[in-house]
Structures are given as C-alpha cells and as structure tokens.
Amino acid sequence: MNKKFCMLLVIALGLALLFTGCASGNAPGAADPADASSDAAPDRDTSQVIVAVTADFSAGFDPVTGYGLRYDPILQSRLVKTWNGVITEDLATDYSVDDGGKTWRFQLRDDAFFSNGDQVKASDAAFTFNAAKGAGGNLDLTNMVSAEAEDDLTVKFTLEKPDYTFIYQVSKLGIVPEALYDENYMENPVGSGPYKMVQWDKGQQAIWEYNDLYYGGEPSIKRIILVFMDEDAAFAAAQKGDVDMIETNQSLATQTIDGYYLKNVETINNFGIIFCTVPDEGKTTEDGKKIGNNVTCDKAIRQAISLGIDREAMNAEVFNGYGHPSDSMCDLMPWFNEETALNDSNSGLDVACNILDEAGWVDNDGDGVREKDGVKAEFDLYYTSSNGNRQMVAMNVAEQAKALGISVVPKGAANSDIQELFHSEAYVFGRGDHTPVEFYLMSSTNSIGAGWSNSGYYSNPTVDEYFDKAMASDNLDDVYKYYKLAQWDGATGASHIGDAPDAWFVRPDNCFFIREGLDIGTQSLHPHGASLQVFNNILEWKWN
C-alpha cells in the first residue's frame, strides 16, 4: 500500500475511533448488541440477515444511472471509497495527479474479479465513467473530458480544468463490467463487491449472497434479504419477529419492541432552509420561473433566521431528541471551518434581534412583524407535503420566528411544484454528503440554476475564488483549507455567520430496531437520503 493511502487510512482510523462514541447509540436500557446472545433462537440462521428497508430499488441496481451514489453499492466496487469524508482505497491501490490537476491515473489491484469470474480491468472503469457522463445522471462529470485504459490495470482521467476534488467524484461510482453491460443490467447486475444479487422480486424483496470472488475479506453474514416495506409495515413486521432489522422514524423510535434494541446513527443529513438571495427585479428563467424575493434577499433576514432559531428545541420537538444541532452542511467533515460553529456569543435570540435592528427592520405599527422601507418581514416557507419531518421543521421555524418579529408562512407542496418556485421562495431542504463538492454545488456561482443546487442564486466572488484555489490545489490539505475559507475568512463566506444563503438546523439520526444478538459494528456518519449506508461496513456484521 503506498504512503498516500497509508496516511489517509490512518486519518480514517482516527475518525472511526472518534465517531465510535458519537455516531451511534442505543435506546436507554436497551440491550447492547455486543453482549446480547442469539441463544434465545437456536434455530436462527446466523449466516443471514433479513432487513426491512423503505427503498424498493424501483430504478434498479445500475451505478451508471445513479444506484449507490450516496452509499456503498455493495454489489459493485469503486475505485476509492470515503469514510467520514476521508478517502480510502478500494479497487485502486494508488493514484497520481499530473498536468496541474487535469490528469489523474489510478492503479487497479490485480486480484479483483466480477462475480462471473472476469477480472476487473481498467477498461471496465473507463467504460463506467464514460457511460455515466453520457447518461447525464446525478453524478456531475461535466469537467471530465475522457476516461481511458492505458493498460489492463491503469485507468487515466483527463479533466478540462484542474480539480483536486475530483477524487470525491471518483468515490461515488460503482464499476460495471463493459462486456456484460446492456439495457438489462439494472435488473441483472454483475459487480465485484462483497455480494451478488441472486433474486429480485420487484416491489417485494431482493436477495444478495456473498461473492466468494471478493478480494476484501469474507463476511460473517453470507446472505442479505432486503424486504421492501414502509415504516409502519416494517414496525409491525418487527413486532411479529419476521425481520432482523428495520429502518424507522424518530416518532416510532420512542417505542420499544420485545427482543430488539434501538440503534440511532448520527448523520450529516442536514435539515434546513434554502433562501432566495437576490431581489425581485421582474426577472425570470428561460422557462419562465420567477427569480427573486424582496425579503429573503436581505442578509439580515437570513442571518436572523439562521442564528436565532433554537436548534436544541427543534431537535426535541421535531425529532424527539434523535438528532444533533447543525452548524453547517460541512459538519464533522475534514473541511468544516470550526470558526463558524454557533455559540452563545454569535447566535441566539438577542444576537438575531440586534442584527435586524441594525439593518433597519423595526416593528413600527406594533403588529409583531418588523418592517423596512415599507416591506414587511414575512415570507412563505415551502416544504414537501409528503415529508412529515420537513413539514414539522417548517412549522417549528414559523413558531420560533415570531419572537424575531418575522412572519413565516408554511406551505406544503409537491416537489415538482416547489421546483417551479425555488428561485424565488424559501423552502425546507435536506443535504449533506461525504464530499466537499456538496458545499460547492450549493454555494458556487457556477451552480446557479443547476437543479436543486444553488436554486437561490447565491453569488460571492470571494467564495468563488476560494473554490477555484481549492480545485487548483495539488493536495487535499489545501483543498480543505480553501473550503474552510469559503465558509468564513474572517470577513465573508457562505456560512451562518457570513452571507447565510441557507440555514441548517438539525442533523436527525437514522434510527434502526435491531434484533438482539445482531451486531452491525461501527457505523460511519450517514449522508443525506442514504440510510442504506448502514451496509457500508457489512464485513463487520455478525451474530453474537
């Protein structure tokens, strides 16, 4: 193993030890999985687990079109992986960067095989990335000019512009076999991950079995049965003892199930508000969407909401205490700027009210709502109507904002309707991943109008300059340094204490009921929308 990966793995191990104490926990009084015994069910097959999940994989198991972008695909391997934001090796044992950051080479291991027996080659990696770029999926590969195999075990990527954060894009994509890839791959995936799919009953279940050609070690769990259920059905199935593990919500997590313990895993799934940061000047997008909001365009309003909301209260009231206050969508990552962490001196009701007072927002008519230049401090706050947590966040913000003299009106809508309004209206959103690219997409001028990324038209030339310097850096330490400065450099930045283009409040835990005796090991922080990240350490799982 080369020195570069050795150093990264040492960092990852340190973070793993750090998060062992904070990334997950059990309900008070619940059984410790390390101490529990499976003797109570001597007939149980301890080589398998039955897990109820809310995802049903209706789009299939194709990394090219988006499967596994936010979690370990399990069926496929990646060139590199991340653990709490730190890069670790997988198919690649070494990589180098040349041409000022525009040429990347990855050296593949020689003992990796797809589950059908074919060796994983550089041509498969090149094919996968070129196909993903052509598919126009959720992975942004616009800066990648090409991927090509220089020999059987060396794949070269050519970028249009230098970008040292490209390593994080590489960590997102599971590698597929070029020879077997066709329109049916999504239903019949073949990969080099620790498991292979042996059965998929659409809308009901998927069965994965250990891939005995896997290079990364043999798991104790040889068979995973994924049962697709909504949260209520999964809870009922656990009550009957039909499954070994379920994903649940923070409301059901307050209950108990005989024979099961609760494990709540810390996440970087931030819940908060995306603001429109520009005034309404009558502008629209090419497809007719309105741009601008004359209230949230004022930084004082955004800062007041961002700094004045009691996060602990929101966590208790919305998520039943199963969560953590959020400072930033970069929380706990190596690129998080600790200077932006909220404290008694830079946040709270008094701080927020002073900001509004100094900016000229005053309640002149005594109706409880501030005004400035004839404009009331009020705005609509949209939330996805099918998402109960987002609704409760919106309601909680509206209630707390009254003390600030700001009127917030929650409005539920379908995501498709919110997309018609999100260049002009504030909305509740979730975001967070093991990559600094996530912060870039939400804060860069280059991302304005790019789907859900920077829908609020935020632009700060200084922040953009730091992003450019990060991408042109030749090492990750400098990447992290410039990303921290983009959050706050002492004078400006895209953070709570800076321009506050968004306001992140709580990182709710992912909660699981697990049968006593099943130990799912040390979990990494789960990213947004990726409770399947629970399988990222499947080689550690075992029955005691």
Work out whether strand 223-228 and strand 48-53 pair parallel, antiparallel, or are unpaired. Answer: parallel
What's the pLDDT score for residue 6? 46
**193: nearest Cα among 166, 171, 212:** 212
Side-chain half-sphere CA neighbours of 119 within 13 A: 9
The CATH classification number of 270-507 equals 3.10.105.10
Show me where the domains of the chain are located.
Answer: 270-507
**119: nearest Cα among 142, 95, 153:** 153
What's the pTM?
A: 0.89
Work out the angle at residue 205's Cα, subtended by the Cα atoms of residues 201 and 208, and round it to the nearest 5 degrees.
Answer: 100
- C-alpha 177/C-alpha 113 separation (Å) is 10
Work out whether strand 24-26 and strand 48-53 pair parallel, antiparallel, or are unpaired. Answer: unpaired
What's the pLDDT score for residue 70? 87
End-to-end CA distance of the chain: 33
What's the pLDDT score for residue 301? 98
What are the φ and ψ backbone dihedral angles of 531, each rounded to 5 degrees?
-65, -20
| Structural tokens at position 433 | 């991943």
**210: nearest Cα among 538, 537, 520, 544:** 538
Which residue is it, tokens 């009550």? Answer: 239
pLDDT tens series, the chain, 544 aa: 454 554 444 444 444 444 434 444 544 334 455 445 444 455 678 999 999 998 888 889 999 999 998 889 999 999 999 999 999 999 999 999 999 889 999 999 999 999 999 999 999 999 999 999 998 767 889 999 999 999 999 999 999 999 999 999 999 999 999 999 999 999 999 999 999 999 999 999 999 999 999 999 999 999 999 999 999 999 999 999 999 999 999 999 999 999 999 999 999 999 999 999 999 999 999 999 999 999 999 999 999 999 999 999 999 999 999 999 999 999 999 999 999 999 999 999 999 999 999 999 999 999 999 999 999 999 999 999 999 999 999 999 999 999 999 999 999 999 999 999 999 999 999 999 999 999 999 999 999 988 899 999 999 999 999 999 999 998 899 999 999 999 999 999 999 999 999 999 999 999 999 999 999 999 999 999 866 889 999 999 999 9
